Structure 1
């Protein structure tokens, strides 16, 4: 005769909760964390209280659904509220300062950006008095070339 496997159901609840936590660590969006909490609180909780298997499944599903639709949105809102978008890659170059490292000939030269990268540059606007070492600001990025303008110092008049 086969043994009654429902007496080992608590092991299945623990394994399922552990699996959900591992998946949550890979996705990081609180969905599987809520499922793991529903599994532990609903499924394992009813199991420890001696409830039948169908009540354990029903309680796990109800608790997981409740957490998914109430706690998860609050956690996501709190997580995203504290983070502002940070420009990266080419978007981070706009408005970045630079220093001229090669003189501009026919409007084209070379600059070293404040982030340490050296770029081919095209001078936009009035380029009078732009020597090596002068400060410029990135105005646009066009492929592997940046468009720069001369950095104007604020007048203290």
Structure 2
């Protein structure tokens, strides 16, 4: 297959899938959609790393590093801007306490961002013990926020 034909095929597939990529965005709840998409990306990168550390899936140094890089990249995005005034309503698991204790929420979020950098450094080192410790620290940062600010079910 020629490179030109392959490039054309990829372009068609990319353009054809664009509506699907935007399909999660709920027009009337844009900030809620933003947050849900963000945290889905966080979970989809953190979950396999945790599974590798626990031995629930085979260890793969290259995959661990790629997941840690993606996790750190996503964590570097400022999701706090998606918690603006009025975004506490609608389809959300974000508890009202986020808007009542914004400073504490932002501190917990900053701890996640810091932990993600430590996780990336550990993955870059290839040291499994360091990676395990960084997974534990990062998971603790996630849990600290979830315990205070995430409802188990959607709030309406």
Give the TM-score normalised by structure 2.
0.29
More helix by share: 2
Give the TM-score normalised by structure 1.
0.29
Higher relative contact order (CA 8 A, sep 6+): 2
